[in-house]
Amino acid sequence: MSKYRRSDKELYPNPHAAVNTKGRKERQDFDDFRTEFQRDVHRIIYSQSFRRLRYKTQVFYFPQNDHVSTRMDHVRFVASAARTVARSLRLNEDLAEAIGLAHDIGHAPFGHQGEDFFNEIINSHLELKACMPKFSHEIYGLRVVDYIAKRDREKPGLNLTWEVRDGIVSHCGEDFKTCKLLMGDKNKNLDNIKTREDADLPATLEGCIVRLIDKIAYAGKDVEDAIEVDIIKEKDIPSKFKKRLGKTNGMIIGTFIEDIIKNSFEKNYIELSLEFGNLLHELIQFNIEHIYHRPKAEEYKEQAGKTIKFLFEDLLSEIKRTNRFESDRYSDPQKNGSIPRVYRIFQNFITEDMKDVYTQNDPDELIVLDFIAGMTDIFAIRSLSDIFIPRISV
């Protein structure tokens, strides 16, 4: 025990708290100043994959309004609220924060609709479907932190603790009516998880907190964002939500957090009361009916889908043509100006960023999917423009 660290008993009084980790894929030396889960927080926030969340869709495509949420805003809201609940329940705040920050790191560009586009691609490419039956952002998030995410000038893979990895891959899946979350299997093999059903519930209470807070954090904020972009009016919100939950997103989150703490204190599970669990379910249903599928929210869905699908087929053609850039490294200075910038970035992704990560057993389709899934919304649009639109030459 480092002389600079507080004791585990002082940090985590709750006997159900996750104190020690089951380990990492690669062993790390002990840190005198930080807990293992605190180290994970730092690994996550310094990674390029995490930083790109600031330009990925939450609900509305690349908003120019600073008051409308991006994916980065959402994960910060979740991490903050999860840490608050964990502190009140005397659980591991650092673990709750780490899971909250990384839980959506596997999201594709264009939000949940991007997931749908990738699933259409997977279903039309058998080589890809054989290694990835379905694109689910939580399953893919585990792949990101294990093999793709990197800190600047370091090798890919964040080498996170088992508990944080479990929290990422297990952070969603119930039918939104579930009010009580029990801890899942602590012996599950995370590397064998291919579907949402395989993931089961999180194996820690801290992971259960994030799983529940995730829905709370977006339910109220999506309403605020919809009002901001004029999809709904404040008067459209049913009065029972205002009366029981509060009139603002801050009040809504506060109400739910208070209920979770009161119902989970000194328990071996995380629970919302039946009343507030039903209200959460009804609020999400309100959003589905009045926000998520309204024309303004899906205004550019067709264009976004065409963007993802075209980039996939075009980059797949390029990676096969160049034999993963072994036969053509764009070295001719006479042709440099005519080569789309995205091709060069893709080449660097394969030959430098992800060097020695892929094997010959990995299909080219998986490499292309990894590259596009990591794109921000804006970079995907720019890449399409880069391929299609000629530059001014004189």
Residue 133 lies in a domain: no
Residues 199 and 270 in one domain: yes
Same domain, yes or no, for 77 and 202?
A: yes
Domain end point (choices 266, 292, 318): 292
pLDDT for 8 equals: 78
Please report which confidence band the pLDDT of residue 61 belongs to, taking 50, 70 and 90 as the band edges.
confident
- Residue ending a domain, choose from 292, 315, 350: 292
pLDDT digit string, tens, across residues 321-358 = 999 998 866 766 555 667 899 999 999 999 999 999 99
Split at pLDDT 50, 70, 90, the class of 394 is low
> How confident is the prediction for the chain on average, in pLDDT?
92
- The residue among 228, 253, 239, 273 whose CA lies nearest residue 59 is 228
Measure the CA–CA gap between 258 and 250, rounded to whole angstroms: 12
Co-location of 247 and 380 in the same domain: no
SS3 breakdown of the chain: % helix, strand, coil, rounded to 5? 55, 5, 40
Q: How sure is the predictor about 62, in pLDDT bands with cuts at 50, 70 and 90?
A: low
Of 266 and 296, more confident = 266
| pTM given for the model | 0.95
Same domain, 262 and 315: no
What's the pLDDT at 323? 95
For the residues 276-299, what does the mean pLDDT come to?
Answer: 91
The domain boundary, picked from 240, 274, 292, lies at 292
pLDDT band at 367 (very low <50, low <70, confident <90, very high): very high
Q: Which domain holds residue 41?
A: 8-105+149-292
Burial class from Cβ neighbours inside 10 Å (0-12, 13-18, 19+) for residue 235 reads exposed
